A and B are shown apart, each in its own frame.
Chain A
Amino acid sequence: MPDIDNTRLEAVVAELRRTPPLDASFDRRVMRAIRSAAVRPLRLISPLMPMPRWRVWSAFAAVAAGMLAVAVVPSVHSSHAQPVQFVLVAPDAKTVQVVGDFNGWDVSRPAYAAENRGGGVWSLTTPIPPGHHRYAFLVDDSLWVPDPAAPRVADEDFGKPNSALVVEDAP
């Protein structure tokens, strides 16, 4: 076995221990390599799925779009809603809203604000889903008025009675 030249060996070790010069993009390149090598969640279950990934994404997107359609667009949910016109003659009113079962008795929904058509005639035409509904007009944010042209509901639990409306399913 030949003798080891300690001086030469130490020189080799020192060379190996020396940090090589790094350019400015080194960190970025390393992180990019790590990210590309990382296991994506979908890749974990991909062996279990007998379909290409693009189809999985398409299905996912379709489900999400469906949820959005049902939740966000009420007219899709109640596709048989019929347009109903509400009319109130209130010459001194400053605002008139239609509030009822069909909008959750929410007095803050601008979509149900009637428009002044002149001569004190306020009207609103809006789609209402099929079924039996109770409603009333809210005049100037304070006065509840039943629809004088509609059948009454004798449900004066909270003051004045409401009006009734039956919307039938479209044929």
Chain B
Amino acid sequence: MRLAWCAAAMLLTASIASAQHTPISRLNKVLDAPTRTAVLAIIDSARVEGLPAEVLVNKALEGAGKQAAGPRIVAAVHKLAGELRSSRDALGPASRDAEITAGAHAIHAGVTQAELTRLRRAGVGRLLTTPLMVLTDLVARGVPPATASTAVVSLERAGLRDADFTAYQRSVRQDIDRGADPAAATTTRARGAELRRGGAPPTRGP
């Protein structure tokens, strides 16, 4: 009987010790008191709103890992909370956490809420995490947000799978690395991917 008590106590101790390594508990370890208080307040508010709060925890941990100052961490977490809110508003409340997160990064990069909504309408019922990731990447590489958004929406309408989106992103990246104009590479590669998929070429701009 005593052995059973000892075993149970050991298991419980191990569980508690491990729980101390969860992301939220790590905040207590890596942030100073004022920063922690401010960050936890933002995280609590996000959680109440049903936003993916773990993303905010990770942002704070990233700041701590990169040895950023407390006010900078708080500002980044606060800004990301707003972007998560905007992303969910644009993509719809039924969106998955990963979609909302990817949408927040797209907004951070300069994509508008209207463009996110357009992408959602193009891909109703489909998981948009990868298209949103590709959209963010294009903008981060210097493609104007409107051009990148038009390309990704047209590819989503053509029914590209996630693997096709990843291959498309790789092609555009290589073109840009070789010196191509980012917008031209995005549009040209989108037209090619769409044709390979059997869809109509994207409509030309005015």
Contact = CB atoms under 8 A, between A and B. Distances in A.
A26 interface: no
B18 to A, nearest CB: 4
Contacts of B65: 99, 105-107
Interface string B115-144: 000000000000001100110110111000
A32 interface: no
B151 to A, nearest CB: 14
B12 A64 contact: yes
B36 interface: no
A158 B60 CA distance: 10
Q: Is the interface of B mostly helix, strand, loop or mixed?
A: helix
A105 B137 contact: no
Nearest to B137: A151
Given A61-B8, A151-B136, A166-B129, A105 B14 contact: no
Q: Is the interface of A mostly helix, strand, loop or mixed?
A: mixed
A68 interface: yes
A64 B6 CA distance: 12
| Contact size range, A | 35 or more
B105 A155 contact: yes
Contacts of A152: 136-137, 140-141
Nearest to B103: A132
Contacts of B162: 166, 168
Contacts of A122: none
Interface residues of B, number: 47
A39 interface: no
A89 B129 CA distance: 28
Contacts of B137: 151-153, 164
A171 to B, nearest CB: 13
Contact of A106 (B61, B102, B169): B61
A61 B7 contact: yes
B180 interface: no
A99 B79 CA distance: 22
11 contacts: A61-B4, A64-B12, A105-B61, A132-B98, A132-B102, A134-B58, A151-B137, A158-B66, A158-B68, A159-B66, A164-B137
User: What are the nearest 5 A-B pairs in CB distance?
Assistant: A151-B137, A105-B65, A154-B109, A157-B76, A64-B11
Interface of B: 1, 4, 7-8, 11-12, 14-16, 18-19, 21, 23, 26, 55, 58-59, 61-66, 68, 72, 75-76, 79, 97-98, 101-102, 105, 108-110, 129-130, 133-134, 136-137, 139-141, 162, 169
Given A153-B105, A154-B109, 10 more contacts: A61-B4, A67-B11, A71-B15, A104-B61, A131-B101, A152-B136, A152-B140, A158-B68, A159-B66, A168-B162
